[in-house]
């Protein structure tokens, strides 16, 4: 594409999308942030009115996360025999692309209609320690009660790619997520160590508080004594799915108070389930939760995990969809 033709947007200019029916969304060019999602005029996410908040945004509210979402152990990895060292910004590990990940940069608007916006960012070679110039396009569209994110990326040098969105969902505006019901359509997750890096083997959820194969109240699960809940200070674990390109229905969140449901669908092989354990003012810990469709944590360092590298001859393409109903 002709990058010179891209319009220069104000970082905190609110882009409003709507499906012409029940769904509206507000997008910020800074961080490609989903500032707000409303369904039938009810806010579905943790949202701050003042756009200035999102310049710091310490909890990644609604942010586009990359170049590599989640954690890379020690911030180091190897590609084709070359070792790379990233900055460590989460204890000993690299988290969400580093200190200045894609949540901290200005994306440019390339196309815009009432129901859709396309955003573009070019990450230079060496950005936060990652190799290769990476060009990324993200299209966000609102249709029939569904907000869909389509990611596409190309590189001029072998690199790592793993994007997600970090919306925090609360479907009734309450101060706790405890009474919401969660269903996750897989029976496997990745246990973690004390620094939130996956252990060597996946675990089965059957018979544990990690079992959401049928709808379960999140508060009851959080009140369970389990060493993995202690390790994550709550749920902060990757649930794993088949590593293929199919659009999978991964999870459903329902508020018994409003009867509103959110269904997450994605082409990604994993979903980080995070119960906002470390969120603070102006919100409360566990006031919402995240369904972060993504690759598995620390995949670059695990031969048995889905591949995370992107070659110059390849194109990265992934879809994340949030569908609302009642």
Catalytic residue among 26, 96, 118, 292: 292
Q: Report how far apart, in Å, the C-alpha atoms of 320 and of each of 48, 112, 160, 163, 271 are.
A: 23, 19, 19, 10, 11
Angle, vertex CA 91, rays to CA 84 and CA 73, nearest 5: 40
User: How buried is residue 59: exposed, middle or buried, by Cβ count under 10 Å (0-12/13-18/19+)?
Assistant: middle
Residue 63 CA to residue 166 CA, distance in Å, equals 5
Which 3 state secondary structure label does DSSP give 67? Answer: coil
Residue 307 CA to residue 18 CA, distance in Å, equals 35
Catalytic residue among 166, 201, 226, 257: 166
175 classed as catalytic: no
Among 66, 55, 86, CA closest to 136 = 66
180 classed as catalytic: no
**Distance of alpha carbon 127 from the chain centroid:** 20
Beta bridge pairs of residue 93: 90
Beta bridge pairs of residue 183: 252
Q: Tokens at residue 158, please?
A: 């072998």
Among 70, 136, 63, 138, CA closest to 103 = 63
Which 3 state secondary structure label does DSSP give 160? Answer: strand
- Supply the DSSP string of 99-114, one letter for each residue: TT-GGGSB-EEEEE-S
Residue 103 CA to residue 93 CA, distance in Å, equals 18
What are the catalytic residues? 166, 292
């Amino acid at each position: 594409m002709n990058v010179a033709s891209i319009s220069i947007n104000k970082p905190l200019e609110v882009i409003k999308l709507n499906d012409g029916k029940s769904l509206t969304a507000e997008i910020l060019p800074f961080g490609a942030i989903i500032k707000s999602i409303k369904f039938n005029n009810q806010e579905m996410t943790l949202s701050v009115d003042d756009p200035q908040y999102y310049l710091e945004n310490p909890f990644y509210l609604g942010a586009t996360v990359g170049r590599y979402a989640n954690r890379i152990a020690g911030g180091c990895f190897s590609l084709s025999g070359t070792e790379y060292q990233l900055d460590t910004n989460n204890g000993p590990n690299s988290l969400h692309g580093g200190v200045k990940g894609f949540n901290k940069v200005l994306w440019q608007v390339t196309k815009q209609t009432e129901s859709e916006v396309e955003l573009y960012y070019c990450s230079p070679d060496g950005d936060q320690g990652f190799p290769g110039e990476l060009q990324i396009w993200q299209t966000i569209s609102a249709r029939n009660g569904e907000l869909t994110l389509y990611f596409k990326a190309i590189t001029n040098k072998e690199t790592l790619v793993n994007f997600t969105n970090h919306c925090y969902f609360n479907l009734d505006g309450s101060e706790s997520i405890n009474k919401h019901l969660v269903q996750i359509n897989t029976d496997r997750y990745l246990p973690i160590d004390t620094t939130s890096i996956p252990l060597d083997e996946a675990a089965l959820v059957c018979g544990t508080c990690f079992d959401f194969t049928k709808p379960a109240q999140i508060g009851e699960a959080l009140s369970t004594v389990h060493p993995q809940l202690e390790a994550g200070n709550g749920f902060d674990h990757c649930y794993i799915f088949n590593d293929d390109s199919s659009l999978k229905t991964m999870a459903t969140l329902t508020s018994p108070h409003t009867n509103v449901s959110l269904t997450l669908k994605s082409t990604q092989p994993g979903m980080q389930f995070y119960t906002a354990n470390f969120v603070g003012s102006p919100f409360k810990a566990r006031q919402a939760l995240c369904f972060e469709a993504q690759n598995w944590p620390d995949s670059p360092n695990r031969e048995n995990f889905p591949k995370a590298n992107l070659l110059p001859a390849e194109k990265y393409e992934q879809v994340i969809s949030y569908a609302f109903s009642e």
